[in-house]
Amino acid sequence: MSHPKWIGVVGPTNTTLIEATAGLSTGTLEQAAREIGAFLAQHALPMACVPVKGVPLWALEAYHQAGGKDSLALWPGLGDQFEAGTQTTPGKPELAGQMRDDLTWAQEPFELAKICRCMVAIGLSCGTMVEIIATKWMKRRPVLCLSHLMTAIPAEIAAELNILPCDSVEQLNRDLLGLLA
C-alpha cells in the first residue's frame, strides 16, 4: 500500500437538520467548510471528499475556487442500496481533479480512511461518524474535529480513535499544518 496522501474532509450533507439539532446557526457549517477548503488550496494540500452536497461539497467548491490543484472526489455508485436518498442529488464530482467511481457506499468510508493522512471533521452526522470510525482500522489516522460544531463524540468511541479536538477553524488550520510538518 502506498503512503496515504490526501487530507479527507468529512461532514454532514443534511446540514439543515444537523444545524437545528446541534443548536448551530444556519450557515455555520457552510462557513467553516468553505474556510477549510480555501485553506487547503492556499497551502497546496491535497484534498479528498465525497462531494454529494453539504459540507464536503462546500469544501471542494472553495478548494476549487481558491485554485486548489490536487483534489479527489470519491463518488460511490448512486444506485447502491445503502444510500437511496443520494440518487436525487447530482453533486459536483467534476470540481475535483480526480474522481473514483468504483466504490459502493459501504466501501467509501474505509477507502477514504485508507487513502488519507488525516481527516478534518466539520460537524457530525451518521455518515460522518462512520467515516471517522473507519480510521480506527487504518492505524488510527488522526481526525481533527471542530469541537464547537458538534455536541460530542461518545467517549466510548473516541477512546479507540485518534481524535484531535479544535476549538476554531484557525486552531484546526494551525494544528493541521503542525501535524503534517
What local confidence, expressed as pLDDT, does residue 110 receive? 96
- 84 near 48, Cβ under 8 Å? no
Taking the model in full, what pTM does it have?
A: 0.92
- What number does CATH give the domain 6-180? 3.40.50.450
> Which band of pLDDT confidence, cut at 50, 70 and 90, is reported for residue 136?
very high
What local confidence, expressed as pLDDT, does residue 91 receive? 87
- 135 near 154, Cβ under 8 Å? no
For 3-41, what is each residue's pLDDT tens digit? 679 999 999 999 999 999 999 999 999 999 999 999 999
What local confidence, expressed as pLDDT, does residue 83 receive? 53
What local confidence, expressed as pLDDT, does residue 3 receive? 61
Spell out the domain ranges in the chain.
6-180
What local confidence, expressed as pLDDT, does residue 7 receive? 98
Q: How far apart (Å, rounded) are the C-alpha atoms in residues 103 and 87?
A: 15
The answer on pLDDT for 85 being more than 60 is no
| 111/83: higher pLDDT | 111
- 110 near 83, Cβ under 8 Å? no
Instruction: Please state the rounded mean pLDDT for residues 131-147.
Output: 94
All three cell numbers of 167: 476549538
Instruction: Please state the rounded mean pLDDT for residues 47-61.
Output: 97
